[in-house]
Copies of this chain bind each other. A is one copy, B any other.
């Protein structure tokens, strides 16, 4: 078992929080990327206790963000929810809060405006996160999600934003599914360096499944060449957990222990050998 493998909880979405924790412990997986929905369903103190009992690290809390609204009350709600997420991350001992920043508000075509509001939101949240000891982890999403999920579309853009803040306050997430196509990706991974807050892996399937939000594959089922990406992230200095994060309806139809077994096997085959040390 890799000491750096983390199961992003959404990979075994059908599992409840205690099931996911027990499943990781059973498989010997040392870390978990926790999602807020199952966290709220099972409760924070109970979750924190179970994680401690199982000896599991939390590699990240997923997710904050969705703060591109221009309407003042929607924006206030988003900011309040992000502060709650930061508190939760701190109470779980997570190093970072993953941020999916949000798309264009309904009826809005002003993409540069939405991107400016991301910077404004970060400026408001970063000091709060710093006080809580949580790094905000900006996740560039694949450009196909630009309109409705995240107006941050490339690693370069995420780093540009992050560099407005101290290193420990705002980092970036390198997720193979979102950035594998980018002709500039290796240069940007090197540039991100110590700003890399999290490294997440899943594969790009061909043909692309019709539900774009559930389009990810197990490593090896798609076209991503993981080795050079893993080596680049290691060369950039990242030594943290590597989260396997796969949203896939066919995978979710399988028993959780089978999903975990597949994750462990594919990680050993496609990721671990190129992580170096």
Contact = CB atoms under 8 A, between A and B. Distances in A.
Interface of A: 103-104, 108-111, 115, 142-144, 146-148, 153-154, 156-157, 180-184, 204, 206-208, 210-212, 222-225
A104 B180 CA distance: 13
Contacts of A115: 183
A206 B148 contact: yes
Contacts of A206: 103-104, 147-148
Contacts of A182: 143, 153-154
Given A143-B181, A144-B208, 9 more contacts: A104-B206, A104-B223, A109-B225, A111-B180, A142-B144, A148-B206, A153-B181, A154-B183, A157-B183
A111 B181 contact: yes
Contacts of A156: 183-184
Contacts of A147: 181, 204, 206, 208, 222-223
A227 to B, nearest CB: 9
A225 B181 contact: no
Contact of A109 (B104, B142, B207, B224): B224
Nearest to A203: B109
A50 B88 CA distance: 69
